[in-house]
Amino acid sequence: MSSSTPIETARGTWTPPDDEALTRIMRDATTIAVVGASGDPSRPSHGVTAYLINAGYTVWPVHPKETEILGVPVFASLADLPGTPDIVDVFRKADALPGVAEQAIGTGASVFWAQLGLHSDDAVRIAHGAGLEVVTDRCIKVEHARLLG
């Protein structure tokens, strides 16, 4: 299935959020955990992390091997975060998304966001079924610039 196909979950039918929902999600958020953040400036996750910081969000980069990205401390896992993120933004391969969705639920996050090119029906079922809003196959940087920039 693609990211535009409705998916049945324990909480009902998930459909991709429209522009109004995306705008609300990004306006309401103050803290974003970026899973798979990279210290390598050539990586998309690095550029997105920088953009989110510059947009005024508190960003918590998550990577098991990094210690600091853009002057911000990095956390080894979502379980190590100092608080509850509003959004868990994911830069991992699609097969890792269900596990990250489970971890996102454990953080108390409101939104599970899989970056452009990433979608997993199982992750949608897990996160949406647990009450999180779910965005897949969208770049938060692109959507923020398009809708709020």
| Below-50 pLDDT ranges, the chain | 1
The residues spanned by each domain of the chain are: 7-147
| CA 12 to mean position of chain CA atoms | 21
Q: What pLDDT shows up at residue 11?
A: 86
Tell me the pLDDT tens digit for each residue of 22-65. Answer: 999 999 999 999 999 999 999 999 999 999 999 999 999 999 99
Q: What pLDDT shows up at residue 2?
A: 54
CA atoms within 13 A on the CB side of 137: 14
Q: What pLDDT shows up at residue 149?
A: 87
Q: What pLDDT shows up at residue 37?
A: 98
User: Is CATH 3.30.70.3270 correct for 7-147?
Assistant: no
The secondary structure of 41-78 as a DSSP string is TTSHHHHHHHHHHHTT-EEEEE-SS-SEETTEE-BSSG
- Whole-prediction pTM: 0.95
Q: What is the C-alpha separation between 48 and 144, in angstroms, rounded?
A: 10
